[in-house]
Structure 1
Amino acid sequence: MRRQRTKLKFALIGCAAAVALSLATTTDAYTKQEQRWISTVTKTYGERAGKRVQTWRSVLAGLQGQSEKQQLIGVNEFFNQLNFVDDIRLWGRKDYWATPLEFLGSNAGDCEDFTIAKYFSLLELGISDKKLRLVYVKAIELNQFHMVLAYYETPRSQPLILDNLIGEIKPASKRGDLLPIYSFNGRNLWTMKTTQGKLAGKSSRLKLWNDLRSRERSLTLRKPKVNYDE
């Protein structure tokens, strides 16, 4: 989990970004929402951060209408380019779950931030919340707790694992280095003694998840302690 990611270099031409934004939206209201995100992130983190949000919108626009497998690959590859940095170094907190805009704005995050950003991006592309779970695991080789995103094609399917540790999306049976502990999505929480898990209540039981959703709804952005755009 402590591997540092090579700093992502976004080269985005202004006119291309404008075209991408128009492709990514279907209504004027949605265009205004995107512009609000870009403006807020730019004011909080700077011009490069605003361009990262534009690039994110362009990537999602290009993935609209593609197969779910292609959407998984595209979203996984996009976010895995960002820098991995521990919460204590980045935020000055032992554990902090950043919103996708905070993650993109900071150009850095830890495993939870990679997973959360992928989760919300895939939801936006139209993949059902029932097919997605954020899974808290133990990375056995690293002897550390870790988080990944699981995609279930059907309720009984073996899930595919999206991970910032490796670029390739693999089925859970090929990830013997990960020991699942619990999982959740926007609604439910499961203990993971089996592949599908055992329902343990609502995801609202997770304080960090509730805090994240509150910041997401209010568009509250926290600035990191370290600037990874310099």
Structure 2
Amino acid sequence: MSGLFRASFNSFSISAKLVRWLSFSLAMVVCLPWVYAGAIDLSPRLLSYVASRWGGGAEERLKGWSNFVTLQQQRRENRAVDPDSRSSPVYATNRLWAGVPYLSDQSNWGMDDYWATPVEVMGINHADCEDYAIAKYFTLKELGVPVSKMRITYVRALRWNEPHMVLAYYPEPDSEPYILDNLTDRIDVASDRRDLEPIYSFNDDDLWTAGSAAKAGKSSQIRLWRGLIEKMDKEQRM
């Protein structure tokens, strides 16, 4: 497979706004050491912090997330291959995070672009598009899905001509990916999402631009991703 979704996605134009965003976010830096351990190591201190910041309901939501992961891990041997199957961990994870209400970063955090950790999302109980994609990514990673099968994908939502973020799941390395998107409960293959124009994608290790199968660099080049990993590491140190 070539390109971010399929070869047919290899021709696109990027708005001036997106160019500025990419230039700002993809500034080259020295790679940081990878210190992140896990998404849901919920220490008593972390739970206490979450409860003090967002109330007791936040602690219960975090425990619910942890219980969800534990249950899915116990069902590992019975996993369905089809991501759209109700017994698939991909389907279950998509449904879990769909239950979090949407709220823009400006309304949620008082800034135009903030990448929240899954703990923060469960704590405040709201999410913007990138928060859903990130939370699904780390949940599936906890469930044993290799990061090589997932890419957090920055796109343009053509219907609104706005930047947007989704999670692309590749059942096989050369297969067409399935798209997990907070705009819909459906998990569609990329060719059915003609309303999305891919720009770039990344996972724990690597970065790709649309229209090229070659790696464009490391995900540590993305400023907001580095900041997210640093926050997650601090959470796990509590």
Q: Please classify the TM superposition score into its range, dividing by the shorter chain length.
A: 0.7 to 0.9
Provide the C-alpha distance between the structure 2 equivalents of 1:126 and 1:59, rounded to a whole number of angstroms: 14
Structure 1 residue runs without a partner (length 5+): 1-29, 221-230
Q: CA deviation at 1:39?
A: 2.9
Partner of 1:17: none
Partner of 1:184: 202
- SS of equivalent residue, structure 2 residue 70: helix
Q: Which amino acid aligns with 1:201?
A: G
Instruction: Please list the CA deviations of residues 65-120 of structure 1 after superposition, one character each: whole Å capped at 9, or x if unmatched.
Output: 14263100011001011111111111111100000000110100100000100000
Provide the C-alpha distance between the structure 1 equivalents of 2:53 and 2:179, rounded to a whole number of angstroms: 32
Provide the C-alpha distance between the structure 2 equivalents of 1:44 and 1:218, rounded to a whole number of angstroms: 16
Partner of 2:105: 87
- SS of equivalent residue, structure 1 residue 59: helix
Q: CA deviation at 1:193?
A: 1.4
Is contact 1:86-1:109 (8 Å) kept? yes
Provide the C-alpha distance between the structure 1 equivalents of 2:134 and 2:43, rounded to a whole number of angstroms: 22
TM-score (norm. length: structure 2): 0.75
Instruction: Please list the CA deviations of residues 32-51 of structure 1 after superposition, one character each: whole Å capped at 9, or x if unmatched.
Output: 93243433321221101111
Greater relative CO, 1 or 2 (CA 8 Å, sep 6+): 2
Q: Percent identity?
A: 41
Provide the C-alpha distance between the structure 1 equivalents of 2:104 and 2:93, rounded to a whole number of angstroms: 22
Structure 1: which 4+ aligned runs deviate by more than 3 Å? none
Provide the C-alpha distance between the structure 2 equivalents of 1:211 and 1:132, rounded to a whole number of angstroms: 20
Map residues 1-230 of structure 1 onto 2, 5 A cutoff.
Answer: 33-36=41-44, 37-64=46-73, 65=76, 66-67=78-79, 69=83, 70-193=88-211, 197-219=213-235
Provide the C-alpha distance between the structure 2 equivalents of 1:193 and 1:152, rounded to a whole number of angstroms: 17
Provide the C-alpha distance between the structure 1 equivalents of 2:41 and 2:177, rounded to a whole number of angstroms: 33
Q: CA deviation at 1:63?
A: 1.3
Q: Which amino acid aligns with 1:80?
A: A
Is contact 1:132-1:151 (8 Å) kept? yes
TM-score (norm. length: structure 1): 0.78
Instruction: Please list the CA deviations of residues 13-72 of structure 1 after superposition, one character each: whole Å capped at 9, or x if unmatched.
Output: xxxxxxxxxxxxxxxxx9x93243433321221101111111111211221114263100
- SS of equivalent residue, structure 1 residue 141: coil
Instruction: Tell me which moved more, 76-85 or 34-43.
Output: 34-43
Aligned length: 188
Is contact 1:98-1:113 (8 Å) kept? yes
Partner of 1:227: none
Is contact 1:192-1:198 (8 Å) kept? no
Provide the C-alpha distance between the structure 2 equivalents of 1:96 and 1:145, rounded to a whole number of angstroms: 14
Provide the C-alpha distance between the structure 2 equivalents of 1:201 and 1:41, rounded to a whole number of angstroms: 35
Provide the C-alpha distance between the structure 2 equivalents of 1:40 and 1:158, rounded to a whole number of angstroms: 41
Provide the C-alpha distance between the structure 2 equivalents of 1:204 and 1:33, rounded to a whole number of angstroms: 23
- SS of equivalent residue, structure 2 residue 226: helix
Provide the C-alpha distance between the structure 1 equivalents of 2:52 and 2:227, rounded to a whole number of angstroms: 22
Provide the C-alpha distance between the structure 1 equivalents of 2:132 and 2:98, rounded to a whole number of angstroms: 7
Provide the C-alpha distance between the structure 2 equivalents of 1:178 and 1:119, rounded to a whole number of angstroms: 19
Structure 2 residue runs without a partner (length 5+): 1-37
Provide the C-alpha distance between the structure 1 equivalents of 2:178 and 2:233, rounded to a whole number of angstroms: 29
Provide the C-alpha distance between the structure 1 equivalents of 2:65 and 2:176, rounded to a whole number of angstroms: 29
Provide the C-alpha distance between the structure 2 equivalents of 1:58 and 1:38, rounded to a whole number of angstroms: 14
